[in-house]
Amino acid sequence: MKRSRDRAASELFAALYPRLAGWCRRLVDDDETAHEIASEAFTRLWARWTAVEEPRGFLYVTAANLVRDHWRKLERERRAVRRVTAEVAVRPHPEQADPSVRLLVQSLPERLRVPILLHYYADMPIREVSVLTGRKEGTVKADLHAARELLRVHLRRSVDQTP
CA distances from 145 to 27, 116, 133, 139, 153 (A): 31, 9, 16, 10, 12
pLDDT over 90 at 140, yes or no = yes
Which residues does 135 contact at the CB level (< 8 Å), separation at least 6?
Answer: 115, 129, 143
Q: Give the number of other CB atoms < 10 A from CB of residue 18.
A: 11
More confident residue, 90 or 94: 90
Task: State residue 96's pLDDT score.
Answer: 46
Could you please report the per-residue DSSP string of 91-116?
S--GGGGSHHHHHHHHHS-HHHHHHH
Tens digit of pLDDT for each residue in 76-88?
Answer: 888 888 877 776 6
Give the Cβ contact number of residue 99 at 10 Å.
9
Whether residue 94 is predicted with pLDDT greater than 60 in this model: the reply is no
Sequence-distant (≥ 6) Cβ neighbours of residue 19 within 8 angstroms: none
d(CA 130, CA 80): 11
pLDDT in tens, 3-48: 787 888 899 999 999 999 999 999 898 999 999 999 999 999 999 9
